[in-house]
Each structure stands twice: as C-alpha cells, then as structure tokens.
Amino acid sequence: MRKLLSTALTAAILGISAPAVAETWDMPTPYPDGNFQTKNVYWFVDRVKELSGGELEINVHSAASLFKMPEIKRAVRSQQAPIGEVLMSVHGNENALWEVDGIPFLAAGYDNAWNLWQAQKPLITELMAEEGLMPLYTVAWPGQGLYVQEELSDLGAMEGMKFRAYNAATSRMAELMGAIPTTVQYAEVPQAFSTGLVSAMLTSGATGVDVKAWDFLNVYYDTKAMHPKNMVFVNKRAFDALDEKVQKALLQAAEEAEKRGWDESRKVAADTVKTLADNGMKVPEASDALVEGLKGVGETMTGEWLERAGDGGKTLIDAYRGM
C-alpha cells in the first residue's frame, strides 16, 4: 500500500500521469463461439480494448454459459453484469415494441429490416432508459426460413405440427399456422427435435447450420420472412462510471460493430443456405400457396401487434412506412 502511494506521489511531483487501471467487464451472450453474432461480439470487444488503450477489457461468456438468454437483460439491469447481448424479441412479453422485427413479412429483406430498426430505435432507447439500460448496437439475423420434415403444399399441412417457439411472436405464429407452439431455447434445439418434442421451426439458415439441422430435419424453405435482431446493450450506471475517453471508445466500437455485423449477416445468409443443401437438406422454392399463407399470418400478426403496442406501435409503423 505504501509503495502504491509512494509511486502515485512521485508521479504527481514529477508531473507524470500514473498509469490507468484497466476495467474488466463480464459479458454474457446467448450463442456459441462459432456463430457469426458471437464472432462479431469478439470483434467488438477487441476493438473496445484497442480504442480505449486497454483501459476497458470485456470477457465474453458465450453460449449462455453465464446466464440463459431470457435472464441476460435482468442481469445487466441488476448490475450482475455491466454489458450483455440478447435476441430483442425475447422480451416481447414485456412490451410489444421489442418484438416488431418478429412479425413475418412486415420488413422482409435487409434494407427494410434496417429501416425498421431506425424507426424502432428511439422508442426502444426510451424504454431501456426507464430500466437504467442503454442500447449499443444491433445486428440482424439472416432472413428466417421454415424447417420441416416433409415438403409442404400449403400452410394447411402445418396443422397439428409441434412447432419450436422462442418468444411470444413465434408462439402466436405457430397458432395462426395451425401448429402447436412449444418453447425451446437455442441451446436445446437439437435435443428437442431428436426427442420428438418439436418437429418444425422458423429460424435463420445460420442457426440451422449452428445446430446441424440436417441431423434431424429434411427440408428448408428460404422464405426470408423477417430479420430478428440481436442487441448489445449496457448498464447506464456502468457506462456513466467510465472515463470519457473509454465511453467514446465503447460507442465508436459499437458503431463499427453494427456496420460490420450487418455486412457479415448478408454474407452468412448466402453461405448458410448452400451449407444446408450441401449437407443433404432439400431447399425447394416455397409454393405460391405457402407464401400467401405465410403472408396472411404476417398481416394478422401486424394488426394484432398494433393493438398491443398502442400509440408507440402506430408511431413506429408510420415512421417505418414513411421511409
């Protein structure tokens, strides 16, 4: 202790700045290291360390190893972890504004998905501020496709299927398709299909590759129905406690990671569909009847979502449609 005080005193006398003490944060994330979202998180934390001159180091705890995905936002809010990543639509049961990107065919394609985020961002930022949280960046998943055991002629063939749901929106989608929703989180997908708990799901090609969907499913329809987003966010008190230089480093790294992540998502979208096919899955074109049925589900869900979301939802949709 005396040595530390002496060092600081000597530095002050000589006009030399004492070396900054590095801050270390733990960061829970829901997906495995091989997933492009997690790879982008690792890029982000490396960039934070670089821009901050090593004054902030972030340890990533991937694959839900520190907290399960539904627990991550609460953990960051309660300062069990200062920063985290989550699939936004998981929190749709808290407020409908969280799950707008889970509505099929509302914002199909990357350009539309980006515009939807620009309309959603100010409202989500306000919601998060009430919980002492602050968004840093989002990355969209590749367009969501339908995984089933056998080819479908139309949506009626989904009747009675056990459908994997991971949030309120996918549960409602399953109901409207005539399927039976069953909540299964990402890490549990292979076991759920292998044991017959579920037999169909709507998710990205990237997730399909991650879980080796060809081991338990046969058909993938690349419907590009919607682009759910992952968000990296921070506890506002933890952010405010950082030196201004480190705050700027964190925000700059986040801005760069967002651009990089969306670009990577586009690449992954093309690559993963090919990987599914190369591993033996059929990747047929969806019939007009199937597409029309899914679009009808989307229209119904948009109307229902607007009723739940109230004035905030109308503001969001009006802003999005005005772009």
pTM (2 decimals)?
0.81
**Domain total for the chain?**
1
Q: Which residues pair with 57 in a beta bridge?
A: 24
Q: Would residue 221 count as lying in a domain?
A: yes
Q: Would residue 4 count as lying in a domain?
A: no
Going from the C-alpha of 217 to that of each of 44, 88, 151, 156, 307, the distances in angstroms are 34, 26, 11, 19, 36
- The position carrying tokens 């589900």 is 297
Average pLDDT (68-79) is 97
Q: Would residue 209 count as lying in a domain?
A: yes
Of 4-8, 53-57, 86-90, 164-168, give the lowest mean pLDDT range: 4-8
- Look up the CATH number of the domain holding residue 269: 3.40.190.170
Q: Would residue 247 count as lying in a domain?
A: yes
Q: Would residue 6 count as lying in a domain?
A: no
Q: Would residue 191 count as lying in a domain?
A: yes
Query: For residue range 83-138, what is the model confidence (pLDDT) as tens digits?
Result: 999 999 999 989 999 999 989 889 988 999 999 999 999 999 999 999 999 999 99
Report percent pLDDT > 90 for the chain.
Answer: 84
Looking only at Cα atoms, what is the longest distance across the chain? Answer: 81
Find the domain containing 67 and state its range.
21-321
Q: Would residue 73 count as lying in a domain?
A: yes
- Alpha helices per DSSP H over the chain: 2-14, 36-51, 69-77, 110-130, 168-176, 189-194, 205-210, 236-240, 244-278, 288-321
Q: What is the pLDDT of residue 105?
A: 85
Q: Would residue 126 count as lying in a domain?
A: yes
Query: For residue range 198-209, what is the model confidence (pLDDT) as tens digits?
Result: 999 999 888 899
